[in-house]
Amino acid sequence: MFKLPDIPISIFSKMSHLAKEHGAINLSQGFPDFGVDPILIALVEEVSKGGVHQYSPMAGEPKLLEETAKLVYESYGRTLNPKKEILITAGATQGVFTCIQALIEPGDEVLILDPSYDCYVMPITLSQGIPVRIPLNETFLPDWDLIKDAVNDKTKLIITNNPHNPSGRIWSKADMQELSNLLETNNNLYHLSDEVYEHITFDARHESANLYEALRAKTIIVSSFGKSFHITGWKVGYIVAPENLMNELKKVHQYLVFTVNSLSQHVLSEYLKKQNVKQLGAFYKQKRDLFRTGMKNSKFELLPCEGTYFQLASYAKHTQASDVDFCHKLVEEFKLAAIPVSVFSARKESRKVIRFCFAKENETLTKATELLCQI
């Protein structure tokens, strides 16, 4: 008997594989197709000549912890103790796993807001916790009545993701206030805040949990340098948490990875001094606008996109087929790969909406929109 008998291959791997097989433009998986900053490449060369090839300290390279603390301070005005409140992880995925493994005991309930990214449920199942999946509302924002109704004595954790994958929506101050109230009124409840797209918002600022004093004591924030610096393959991210929670996370981290790839940590600690994440929103806004403008003459209806590098589109005017079937048709017949949104929800109900990733070269985006306008 094995622990996870029924896990299919992820939709992201499946669609990227189909894109290759059919020679399709790949707007499915969330990674950039453009080059990495030459400054970063030069740093890899320069830094790798030094003594940076042995194990880093367990929680992370001290220089990187300090630069991360500076980044959080500059972004949100939150002062962190780099030694006690930051942990460098092998991507946000390991951050999420570590947090759930440290907190969730058998029978604990964990609230997940659907549609949700796919790395939350499995670690809960492995910890013998119970994932409680609550739908976001029609506009992909939280339904606080549903959330409050779902909280009971067994609820240990609520996982949020803002800016949100797959919808590209961002939360308002009022949402953050509701969340603060929920944590204040439920002593046993903690919060895991997945903020991997924290620096990719367009028209309004990102409401990070870092900004809310009332959230900080019970919140574990995960983020991803992969998303912020176009280096998803490096798999380096970080966790921010108060010291008492961080001590528990470190116990898991120590035996899960012990420490993260030393070269990436040394390079990133230098790179953080040289770059400005504040440019990231404008960089992706241009791509979002290029994609949206290119889609004006298509039959797709575009939904609001306030952050991340994902654009949702309704294909209801094309067909009443399920989103999974439509995505198969798109990649097989029209040579364009996208992601069906139903796979992000427990109920798998199809809202006739699919997700396009616009973290791509302008040329790729133009080709993609020309193709989509012909359908």
Ligand X SMILES: Cc1ncc(COP(=O)(O)O)c(C=O)c1O
Contact flag: residue 161 with ligand X (CB under 6 A): yes
Structure tokens at 6: 């029924």
Residue whose CB is less far from ligand X, 116 or 298: 116
Contact flag: residue 356 with ligand X (CB under 6 A): no
Residues 110-139 contacting ligand X, CB under 6 A: 117, 119
Phi, psi angles (nearest 5°) of residue 112:
-125, 135
Which residue in 240, 337, 230, 274 sits closest to 42, CA to CA?
A: 274
Contact flag: residue 165 with ligand X (CB under 6 A): yes
Q: Which among 59-67, 87-95, 296-304, 354-362 is the span making contact with ligand X, rule CB under 6 A?
A: 87-95
Residue whose CB is less far from ligand X, 135 or 186: 135
Contact flag: residue 323 with ligand X (CB under 6 A): no
Q: Which among 56-64, 85-93, 265-273, 295-303 is the span making contact with ligand X, rule CB under 6 A?
A: 85-93
Pick the binder of ligand X from 64, 80, 92, 303 (CB under 6 A): 92
Residue whose CB is less far from ligand X, 232 or 369: 232
Pick the binder of ligand X from 109, 194, 207, 323 (CB under 6 A): 194
311, β-bridge pairs: 356
What HEC string does 153-169 produce? CCEEEEEEECCCCCCCC
What does the alpha-carbon distance between residue 324 and residue 321 come to, in Å, rounded to a whole number? 8
Contact flag: residue 196 with ligand X (CB under 6 A): yes
Q: Which among 86-94, 125-133, 184-192, 239-247 is the span making contact with ligand X, rule CB under 6 A?
A: 86-94
Residue whose CB is less far from ligand X, 118 or 301: 118
Pick the binder of ligand X from 60, 82, 91, 131 (CB under 6 A): 91
Q: How far is the CB of 237 from ligand X (least distance, A)?
A: 4
Rg, the chain, Cα only = 20
Which residue in 309, 341, 259, 300 sits closest to 34, CA to CA?
A: 309
What does the alpha-carbon distance between residue 169 and residue 166 come to, in Å, rounded to a whole number? 8
Residues 14-73 contacting ligand X, CB under 6 A: 30
Contact flag: residue 345 with ligand X (CB under 6 A): no
Residue whose CB is less far from ligand X, 117 or 202: 117
Contacts of 355 (CB under 8 A, 6+ apart): 28, 166, 310, 311, 312, 313, 338, 339, 340, 341
Residues 232-271 contacting ligand X, CB under 6 A: 232, 235, 237
Phi, psi angles (nearest 5°) of residue 321:
-60, 160
Are 242 and 213 contacting, i.e. CB atoms less than 8 angstroms apart? Answer: no
Count the residues of the shown chain that bind ligand X, applying the rule CB under 6 A.
15
For ligand X, which residue has the nearest CB?
A: 91
Which residue in 152, 200, 124 sits closest to 359, CA to CA?
A: 200
Q: Which among 147-155, 173-181, 230-238, 262-270 is the span making contact with ligand X, rule CB under 6 A?
A: 230-238
Q: What is the DSSP string of 178-245?
A: HHHHHHHH-TT-EEEEE-TTTT-BSSS----GGG-HHHHTTEEEEEEHHHHTT-GGG--EEEE--HHH
Which residue in 222, 170, 173, 221 sits closest to 200, CA to CA?
A: 170
Q: Which among 17-25, 199-207, 224-232, 358-366 is the span making contact with ligand X, rule CB under 6 A?
A: 224-232
Residues that bind ligand X (CB under 6 A): 30, 91-93, 117, 119, 161, 165, 194, 196, 224, 226, 232, 235, 237
